[in-house]
Structure 1
Amino acid sequence: MLKDPWFTIEKIDQKTFAISEYGHWEKVHAFLLLGEEKAVLIDTGLGIDHMKRVTDQLTEKPIDVITTHVHADHIGSHGEFERIYVHQDDKDWLVNGIGGLSIAQIRKDIGRDITKPTPVSFDPKTYQPFQGEPAGLLEEGDVIDLGNRALTIYHTPGHSPGHINIFDQTNGYLFTGDLLYDQTPVYAHYPSTSPADLCRSLEKIAEIPSVTKIYGSHNTLGLDPKILMEAKQAVQYLRKNDLIRFGTGTHEFDGFSVHF
């Protein structure tokens, strides 16, 4: 498999690749999905190094970037690609700046706990998240045809207003962004988040049929779909105990946790 000084490239199958940044504490994943006619890149990572260097080596097909949500660790290399898509409810953050997070906090988070050498072009003190106009907007139920591969968009707010999940109908892969992953808490504790929306979104994705694998944007690459039922039961517990609100802290379940 392709070797790179910053990114780790892992083949999920012949037409699906994870592009990961394990040298950063957030352990961020982006995903390149190849179809017969074009490719989709789900998120573009932290922006510490240039992701297009990797995608250029993996495919010659035209690439559409689908944004799970507009936080700095998911839009880092957006400026390297021509066609960027985002949900309407996160468009303002993409164009005008990320809501609820100061640039000082973003720079602190981007520059800490790095365990691999970074390129000389990276300076956390001057780091600036991407801002720009998208090529188009995504909505609930949109189907993106890559040619012999179809992706369905689910609007899953909570972590951000315009957060989305992407379901690969062809393979049963569900790309959950920051709605669901393991090891570290899924969060909805900033003023720009919504605990209630996050829980409704978890219930929503638990009803998607024929999911074969969960691919969150952080930590373990590839989770068993049984975590969807655990998430659904977790929401029932949180609702029953009146915990779906700001300030109730971290709640741990079997395989994942949430922080409100």
Structure 2
Amino acid sequence: MKYQIIPVTPFQQNCSVIWCDKTLKAAVVDPGGDIDRILAEITKLGLSVDKILLTHGHIDHVGGAASLAANLSVPIIGPHEADKFWLDNLVKQSQNFGFARAEAFEPTQYLKEGDVVTIGEQTVNVLHCPGHTPGHIVFFNAQSALAWVGDVLFRGSIGRTDFPQSNHQDLLHSITTKLWPLGKNVSFIPGHGPMSTFAEERQHNPFVADQLFD
């Protein structure tokens, strides 16, 4: 699985274009905004995008999804249905965070634990990882040992849990029981900031390092 990270919005959210290098079929993960930049990158890479994937319903991750889907005539897939209230509330979210007005939308398909999404000849597995939001999901490509974790986990930190229906214990449980079993060799692309590996976070992350749970 190939990928290109495109930081978007004033929050510098890590939108990703991900693709199968054999077929050049692609998906866009979390297009929060700056649609022109995303489209330019797709064109530059010569890719054929056939879906948009969402990790959760926060404005900086989904604000451009409906516009991009309409531009490319592709479906929006994800997040888990427990984040529907965030998508329904996008007008207020955009006002609260100073974003351009984003209208509420309904994804073509919600995702749940155990679902598999196909991108060309590649697949990504879906893990439901609540905590930051109740419907947050993570995408995992086993072939490349790569995960797109949204705002669940960051290099040296974890997602905020001061939002409506966030839960700190749920977040810790998601990380330790859903992410860690994927393997220490897994590299991950977080919703913000630099990439890291599960091995690095299990050793040094002050919130979820292994020694905290011994």
Under TM normalisation by the shorter chain, which class is it? 0.7 to 0.9
**Contact 1:202–1:235 under 8 Å retained in 2:** no
Q: Deviations over 1:16-60 (max 9, x none)?
A: 211123x83x32111111122731211102x24533333233234
Aligned counterpart, 1:124? none
Provide structure 2 residue ranges, at least 5 long, that are not aligned to the other structure.
none
**Contact 1:172–1:210 under 8 Å retained in 2:** no
In structure 2, distance between residues paired with 1:194 and 1:58: 39
**Contact 2:26–2:49 under 8 Å retained in 1:** yes
In structure 2, distance between residues paired with 1:223 and 1:65: 24
**Contact 1:91–1:134 under 8 Å retained in 2:** no
Residues 141-180 of structure 1 aligned to structure 2 (within 5 Å) = 141-180=114-153
Give 1:209's aligned amino acid. Answer: G
In structure 2, distance between residues paired with 1:105 and 1:75: 15
Aligned counterpart, 2:16? 31
**Contact 2:132–2:161 under 8 Å retained in 1:** yes
Which shifted more, 165-174 or 144-153?
144-153
How far is 1:234 from its partner? 4.2
- Structure 1 residues 211 and 152 mapped into 2: Cα distance closer, same or farther (>3 Å)? farther
**Contact 1:149–1:169 under 8 Å retained in 2:** no
- Structure 1 residues 59 and 140 mapped into 2: Cα distance closer, same or farther (>3 Å)? farther
Aligned counterpart, 2:162? 189
- Structure 1 residues 168 and 147 mapped into 2: Cα distance closer, same or farther (>3 Å)? same
In structure 1, distance between residues paired with 2:49 and 2:39: 12
Larger-gyration structure (1/2): 1
Provide structure 1 residue ranges, at least 5 long, that are not aligned to the other structure.
1-12, 111-126, 241-260
Q: Deviations over 1:82-106 (max 9, x none)?
A: 3101122113432x2159x755422
Aligned counterpart, 2:51? 64
In structure 1, distance between residues paired with 2:210 and 2:39: 38
Which of 63, 76, 93 aligns to 1:84? It is 76
SS of the residue corresponding to residue 196 of structure 2 reads coil
| More helix as a share of residues | 2
Count of residues paired in the alignment: 202
In structure 1, distance between residues paired with 2:28 and 2:110: 15
Aligned counterpart, 1:106? 97
- Structure 1 residues 31 and 48 mapped into 2: Cα distance closer, same or farther (>3 Å)? closer
Q: Deviations over 1:88-130 (max 9, x none)?
A: 2113432x2159x7554221xx4xxxxxxxxxxxxxxxx2234
In structure 1, distance between residues paired with 2:209 and 2:112: 27
TM-score (norm 2): 0.81
Aligned counterpart, 2:193? 219
TM-score (norm 1): 0.68
Residues 125-140 of structure 1 aligned to structure 2 (within 5 Å) = 127-140=100-113
Aligned counterpart, 2:179? 205
How far is 1:135 from its partner? 1.1
SS of the residue corresponding to residue 182 of structure 2 reads coil
- Structure 1 residues 38 and 187 mapped into 2: Cα distance closer, same or farther (>3 Å)? same
In structure 2, distance between residues paired with 1:236 and 1:186: 20
In structure 2, distance between residues paired with 1:224 and 1:184: 12
C-alpha RMSD of matched pairs (Å): 2.8
